Chains A and B, each alone.
Chain A
Amino acid sequence: QQPVQSPQAVILREGEDAVINCSSSKALYSVHWYRQKHGEAPVFLMILLKGGEQKGHEKISASFNEKKQQSSLYLTASQLSYSGTYFCGTPTGGGNKLTFGTGTQLKVEL
């Protein structure tokens, strides 16, 4: 039931782009994305609702394909501050809680 993220880890040079994928075995009605820096709490980035694509947060955007039960997070022109672990979260338990994905560690280097 836990969403699967890919890749598990990625290293970028500053200015490069990256895509993080989140796949679920169950039907999705929305997908959340969070970023957690080392030793800190996860921070909300965006929610994607069924049929929608939301842009938010720096140069980070995402897409949501409910038919494929997938969401992708796009990071363009990455900055050092983008480093951290990215988690997707999908509503489960009747939509009352979030089940988080396996996480993707992103490191941006000079």
Chain B
Amino acid sequence: GAGVSQSPSNKVTEKGKDVELRCDPISGHTALYWYRQSLGQGLEFLIYFQGNSAPDKSGLPSDRFSAERTGGSVSTLTIQRTQQEDSAVYLCASSRPYRAENSPLHFGNGTRLTVT
């Protein structure tokens, strides 16, 4: 079916405001990942979901970042009290089985977040 869908595609917010980023994975994909990509940089892991639970939150930069997943499908990444250093492209990816070892990741087009 359709690929991974992320919304909004662009978000400009003022420093100190909260933002919510949404990810709709490919139907049937049990694993969901959030990565962050700063301008010209690599892919920084944030959090991983297996179903609705998040066994690995090790990449979340601070307690201002949180994420949830409901119904084994849609995920929301929330950033509270945004700071300028949060500006980046936030990428969501999903895969069918839960182990990344042998399962391709399918990425969405990302949300470009700009904090002014």
Residues of A within 8 A of B (CB): 2, 29-30, 32, 34, 40-44, 47, 49, 87, 89, 91, 93, 95-103
Task: Report yes or no: B56 in contact with A96, Cβ–Cβ below 8 A.
Answer: yes
Contacts A40-B109, A41-B108, A101-B42 known; A93 to B101 CB distance under 8 Å?
no
Residues 97-116 of B, flagged 1 when their CB comes within 8 A of A and 0 if not, give 01111111111111000000
Q: Does B12 contact A (CB under 8 A)?
A: no
Number of A-B contacts (CB under 8 A): 66
Q: How far is the CB of B17 from chain A (nearest CB, A)?
A: 25
Are B104 and A96 within 8 A (Cβ)? Answer: no
Q: Is the CB of B109 within 8 A of A30?
A: no
- Contacts A43-B107, A98-B105 known; 4 new A-B pairs at CB < 8 A: A41-B4, A42-B91, A44-B104, A91-B99
- Beyond A97-B48, A103-B42, whether A49 also contacts B102 by CB under 8 A is yes
Secondary structure at chain B's binding surface: helix, strand, loop or mixed?
A: loop
Mind listing 24 A-B residue pairs with CB under 8 Å?
A: A2-B42, A30-B101, A30-B102, A42-B43, A42-B107, A44-B106, A47-B104, A89-B43, A89-B100, A91-B99, A93-B48, A93-B58, A96-B48, A96-B50, A96-B56, A96-B100, A97-B45, A97-B48, A98-B33, A98-B45, A100-B35, A100-B42, A101-B42, A103-B42
